[in-house]
A and B are shown apart, each in its own frame.
Chain A
Amino acid sequence: MSDTRPPASRFGSNSGQSFTRRDGIAKVTGTATFAADNHPDGLLYAVYVPATIARGRVSHLDVAAAKAHPGVAEVITPANRPMLDGDPESKGFMFAFRFEALQDNTVRYANQPIALVLGETLEAATEGARLLNPQYEALPARVGLNGDTPYKVEVGSFGRPGQTVYGDVAAGHAAAVQSVDLTYETPEQYHNAMETHAVVAEWQGDHVTLDMPNQAIVMSRGAYGYYFGIPPENVLIRSPYLGGGFGSKAIPNGPTVLAILAARMTGRPVKLMLRRDQMFGPVGHRGATRQRLRLGIDAGAKMTVLDHESLATTSTFDDFVESAANASQGLYAAGALRSAQYGVRVDAGTPGPMRAPGEASGSAALECAIDEMAEKAGLDPLEFRLRNYAETEPGTGLPYSSKALRECYLRGAERFGWSKRPMQPGQMRDEAGMLVGWGMGTALFHAPMFAAKARAVLRPDGTGLVETAAADMGQGAWTALAQIAADSLGLPLDQVEFRSGSSDLPDGGVAGGSGHTATAGGALHAAGSDAVRRLADIATADPASPLFGAGNAGVTARDGRFFVIDDDSRSESYADIIARAGGTEVVGTGSAARTPEDAGHHAMYSHGAVFAEVKVDPELYQMRVTRLVGAFAAGRIINPKLAESQLMGGMIWGISFALHEEARFDKRTGRIMNADFAGYHIPVNADVSGLEVITIHEDDAHVNALGIKGVGEIGVVGTVGAIGNAIRHATGHRIRRFPIRIEDLLHAALG
């Protein structure tokens, strides 16, 4: 990638505008069609039967009783399950996870599918599932961080390193004049997007149409093609809207594959939508972590060592270890830097990427440890962070592609009023006598790009059509990507039709890793630019055009017309050019990806600083986050309204992580006892107030052609630690376990 950006003249002004989301009215009026809203003729309803033990085998299913129930059409068990072409135990493609699709009677975790019942109605299938009355031979369940023997992770999730060491760690410890050695724990969390996993599958010969929420629409064609022995192009995935994904809707899972199989087996379309409790098992989660942080500082309070170990739960049959220790990479300058991941195998489903995987839980511990170190050093937490500010990427020494973290700190602190913070905890009270505490955390998230393609068409009437199979999980892809596309075509937003969310379109890449806008947007930008270039070639080569002879580089595109640069009197509309050229639409294509070479020259991250105010009752310890100010620098913001909304959403995840979310296991059975929204708490509106987001613009010529980083996940990073630190500041109690509960503060107070 060159350091020069594409000519600004090729950009319009759609990007940077706070357009309201284009699909908003359809969603609030109920006309947006989510996967489970589809009801093809002849539909059968599928219900999967979840295991109620965590380890062992199914010894009996009362298939006769289920089949005898009126309306039950079919019962699928390991005894009659048709063959899959791709083995669910195999790793047949990139990002393949092992899953249970009735290949045998084994139970590996609670809520694993052990049968699938098909009914003419949902009620019939549900009752048929109950009537199967499974019997088990159960083995003792292993759950929790002490469930089994830890092992060292050499290659972490998504190929990231399991062990990273820079500098001489032992020397760093030895050189420290002050140090802390702290252990934090975070619990298992489950994605729980508002829309549960769903699929409506319909076969026609060896072609299958899947209406499903999907974060990786084109990539998933290959995955489903693999399991069903058909070429990827025989799989059509339609995913126009997702009711949230949170990382769990990119990866095939057992219940979904079984529903697709059931449709092929019965020759009828089949719908499966998971119940809320079924979200706690076969569709991924965030593993629990226990993190040990050892920090040392020199006499100037600069870190001599940042040594971060993390132990995380994973399944017995696949590998995904929450890479929490990696959160200490890339952020603070330290003489020596070590991130070491360990795993422990438990009887749970395989974890997966969830809302800033690694960073969220790692940052929760890191940012608390940083504060504990600052407190020991007698320094304000912000001052301590500034003293350890990394001007180049720690360890690698790479320059940052851009890094406005210092501005985030200063702008956020100013907005929050941080300078009035007393050093000692327990000093502030509000008018009602509540303890008040202020805390902060730094946010860091990598700025990746994946690979995407797009197609752009300039139509004879001068309007545009752009296509890429992007995924809108609620973040606003329908709007932000259309803004990029409109700019690339030199058209106003309302002159561009945007087709997306279907696998028969060019591959829009994965909506994950906070890289979707950069990736799909990059492809759209390239495709639009290509179409404009082709049309400019036609115009400038046509003696009948006022643009004749200006040359491709001599014209600029704006509002559906080309203008000769520096001579607005010479211009012509797209429609006129196309009409004279025979009325044929002009098609451009484009792709976007970051080459390893581009990636190797700079460290690329979004940054942020989060400031939290909490209030805590001094006797009853009810806690409330009363203010959160997040200042984020994430390159170029395409749509400020949507970006701020996403960042706020991430900060609310942070409240959730800090104070609410936790899967509660019965350690005897390995079953989750709060698998519903009454028991698995996430913040409600009444828990969220005083949220404020500041975005700080960065010109980043290296990260990609559009200068876009991501805002999807960084909001949670830093927020959790900021809240933990604020609770410490309010109460004087340091709770090293999330979520922080009323009883934790009570126990701390009682000693």
Chain B
Amino acid sequence: MNLFDYARPTTVEEAIAAWAPGASYLAGGTNLVDLMKTGVMQPGKLIDLNRLAGLDRIESLANGDTRVGALVRNADLAHDAGFARAFPMVAEALLSGASGQLRNAATVGGNLMQRTRCAYFQDAHSACNRRTPGAGCDARGGDNATMAVLGWSDSCIATNPSDFGVALAALDAVVEVEGPQGSREIAFADFHLLPGQTPDRETALAQGELVVAVRLPAASAQLRHHSRYLKLRERTSYAFALVSAAAALRLEDGHIVEARLALGAVAARPWRANDAEALLIGQTPSDELFKRAADVALTGATPSGDNAHKIELARRTAARALALAAIGTPKRMPAFPASLFGEHAHV
């Protein structure tokens, strides 16, 4: 690990003032510190946010929105009874990610800022345009069975690894940001950028900007009775998604009046499927309908390598997530959250 400066501000203003080019904000450290150990990231300065006051709260706002401070730990958010009741899909997504120990440390803001788990990004000795603009992409033509099938470019085929983000994308979350130029809001759907020719630009944040909260609109809580997060993966816990889907419906008189669908692990951002949602409105739930919607969600998907299977698996996962949402949100958190075996597991 390189030598670096370390600052421990106590207010957001101090934190932003402490920022300089080459500095990194540090929250839970579950991703950043690993990358520093391997030399993938070598910040000249760490600005430790953990002493910032007021960012660890889950609040109900006057307008009914829910505001989650950036320093709320993943585990605390998932286990907050009020939050989990209003946004069970978010809680399920959170609990399907990482491990208990990691969730205890990882923060809401850090989850948004985590880096891709592309093996070539994580390996300082491989060429990666995301890490070093113009260096090339060793993932192309390499071991790429898990890479993107949507929104990728010749310069980068990495995926966003977050589970939490997939649920946030589906529920119209808003990211509150403060920075040297003041505060602003960024729609979650616009927060992560597709790679294009500048994969090193991963988020819409400007230099020095800091995520201070994530807001979920009151309207999204209306989807709580029919919402699921489903995660296909190679083991039951502590594995990133092969593909995942967050699906939520609002049903009236047997008809779908509102629909949300987002896919995970298929692109450099959680992939909101607006066209698929539009197709569902006014329809009666059926497996056939959900398959058609899933087809639409995967429109334009192409393999970026040896990963054509991800397209079909994403299609099937999306359709299944919609079907599970239509059945209804489970009464209690499944034993294995987001697992196909979640509610019937022997534990």
- CB of A617 within 8 A of CB of B235, answer no
Beyond A624-B341, A689-B346, whether A679 also contacts B39 by CB under 8 A is: no
- Choose among A70, A626, A665, A686 the residue that contacts B336 (Cβ–Cβ < 8 A): A686
The answer to whether the Cβ of A602 comes within 8 Å of any Cβ in the partner chain is no
Q: Given contacts A673-B119, A681-B239, A690-B346, is CB(A743)–CB(B341) below 8 Å? A: no
Instruction: Chain B residues near A687: list those with CB within 8 A.
Output: 235-237
Cβ of B120: which chain A residues have Cβ within 8 Å of it? 673
A681 to B237, CA, bound (A): 10
Say whether A686 contacts B232, CB under 8 Å: no
Q: Quick one: which of B39, B309, B343 contacts A747, CB cutoff 8 A?
A: B309
Indicate if B300 sits at the interface (CB-CB under 8 A).
no
* B347 on interface, CB distance cutoff 8 Å: yes
Contacts of A743 in B (CB 8 A): 145, 309, 313
Q: Which residue of A lies closest to B42 (CB)?
A: A130
- State which of B59-67, B135-143, B204-212 sits at the interface with chain A: B135-143
Q: Contact partner of A666 among B143, B242, B340, CB < 8 A?
A: B143
Does B201 have its Cβ within 8 Å of any Cβ on chain A?
A: no
The answer for the CA separation of A687 and B336 in the assembled complex, in Å, is 10
Give CA–CA (A489, B319) in the complex, Å. 68
Q: Which of B3, B141, B316, B347 contacts A620 (CB 8 A)?
A: B316
Do A622 and B340 form a contact, CB below 8 Å, given A673-B120, A681-B235, A684-B237? yes
Q: Does A299 contact B (CB under 8 A)?
A: no
Q: State whether A665 touches B346 (Cβ < 8 A).
A: no
| Cβ distance A677 to chain B, nearest Cβ, rounded Å | 8
A362 to chain B, nearest CB (A): 24
Q: Tell me whether B320 is interfacial, beta carbon within 8 Å.
A: yes
A127 contacts B1, CB within 8 Å? yes
A112-145 vs B, Cβ < 8 Å mask (1 yes, 0 no): 0000000000010011001000000000000000
User: Which single residue of chain B is at the shortest CB-CB distance from A615?
Assistant: B341
Contact A689 B145 (CB under 8 A): no
A/B pair count, beta carbons within 8 Å? 100
Looking at the assembled complex, report how far the CB atom of A560 sits from the nearest CB atom of chain B, in whole angstroms. Answer: 47
Say yes or no: is B312 at the interface (Cβ < 8 Å to chain A): yes
Query: Considering the chains assembled together, what is the distance between the CA atoms of A741 and B123 in angstroms?
Result: 25
Count of A residues near B, CB < 8 Å? 44
Residues of A within 8 A of B317 (CB): 620
* Residues A689 and B119 in contact in the complex (CB < 8 Å), given A619-B320, A620-B232, A622-B232: no
Main SS of chain B's interface residues? loop
Q: How far is the CA of A741 from the CA of B341 in the complex (A)?
A: 17
**For the complex, is A746 an interface residue (Cβ under 8 Å from B)?**
yes
Residue B331 at the A interface, CB < 8 A?
Answer: no
Chain B residues positioned under 8 Å from A679 (CB to CB):
119
Q: Is A683 an interface residue (CB 8 A)?
A: yes
A554 CA to B291 CA in the complex, in Å? 84
Assess A681 versus B125: contact at CB under 8 Å? Given A666-B142, A668-B141, A747-B309: no
B339 at the interface (CB under 8 A from A): yes
For residue B125, which residue of chain A has the nearest CB? A52
Given contacts A742-B242, A743-B145, contact A126 B1 (CB under 8 A): yes
Cα–Cα distance between A197 and B343 once the two chains are bound (Å): 40
A659 to B232, CA, bound (A): 14
Kindly list chain A residues whose C-beta atoms are within 8 Å of the C-beta of B1: 123, 126-127
Is B101's CB within 8 Å of the partner chain A?
no
Q: How far is the CA of A685 from the CA of B119 in the complex (A)?
A: 25
Bound form: Cα–Cα A81–B60 in Å:
65
Check: A664 CB closer than 8 A to any chain B CB.
yes
Interface 1/0 per residue, B226-267 and A, CB below 8 Å = 000000111111111010000000000000000000000000
- Is residue B332 contacting chain A, with contact meaning CB distance below 8 A? no
B79 to chain A, nearest CB (A): 18
Which residues of A lie under 8 Å from residue B347 when comparing CB positions?
Answer: 686, 689
Known: A619-B320, A626-B346, A747-B309. A741 touches B234 (CB 8 A): yes
A742 to chain B: which residues have CB within 8 Å?
232, 234, 242, 309, 313
Q: How far is the CB of B339 from chain A (nearest CB, A)?
A: 7
Q: Are B343 and A432 in contact (CB under 8 A)?
A: yes
Query: How many Å lie between the Cα of A687 and that of B237 in the bound state?
Result: 8
Bound-complex Cα distance A742 to B145 (A): 12
CA distance A678 to B234 in the complex (A): 11
B117 in contact (CB, < 8 A) = yes
- Give the chain A neighbours of B340 by CB distance below 8 A: 434, 617, 620, 622
Contacts of A624 on B, CB cut-off 8 Å? 236, 341, 345
CA distance A664 to B119 in the complex (A): 10
B117 CB contact (under 8 Å) in A430, A664, A678: A678
**Contact (Cβ within 8 A) B143 A665:** yes
| Cβ-based interface call for B2 (8 A) | yes
- Give A662 Cβ to nearest chain B Cβ, in Å: 10
CB nearest to A52 among chain B residues: B125
Q: Which B-chain residue is minimally distant from A689 (CB atoms)?
A: B346
Please report the C-alpha to C-alpha distance between residue A659 and residue B233 in the assembled complex, in whole angstroms.
11
Closest B residue, CB atoms, query A622: B340
Kindly supply a per-residue 1/0 record for chain A positions 631-674, scoring 1 wherever the CB is within 8 Å of any chain B CB and 0 otherwise. Answer: 00000000000000000000000000001100011111101011
Q: Which residue of A lies closest to B2 (CB)?
A: A127
Asked whether, in the complex, the Cβ of A746 is within 8 Å of the Cβ of B3, the reply is: no
| Interface membership of A3, Cβ < 8 A | no
CB contacts under 8 Å to A, within B308-326, are 309, 312-313, 316-317, 320
Instruction: Knowing A127-B1, A666-B138 are in contact, say whether A674-B235 is a contact too (CB < 8 A).
Output: no
**Interchain CA distance A430-B344 in the complex, whole Å:** 10
A-B contact pairs, 10 of them (CB 8 A): A434-B340, A620-B316, A620-B320, A659-B235, A664-B119, A678-B238, A681-B234, A686-B345, A686-B347, A687-B235
Give residues in A with beta carbon < 8 Å to B. 52, 70, 123, 126-127, 130, 430-432, 434, 615, 617, 619-620, 622, 624, 626, 659-660, 664-669, 671, 673-674, 678-679, 681, 683-687, 689-690, 741-743, 746-747, 750
3 closest A-B pairs by beta carbon, nearest first, are A686-B236, A743-B309, A673-B119
**Beyond A130-B2, A689-B345, 18 additional pairs, beta carbon < 8 A:** A70-B3, A126-B1, A126-B37, A431-B344, A620-B320, A622-B233, A624-B236, A659-B234, A660-B234, A664-B119, A673-B120, A673-B123, A684-B235, A685-B237, A687-B235, A690-B346, A742-B309, A743-B313
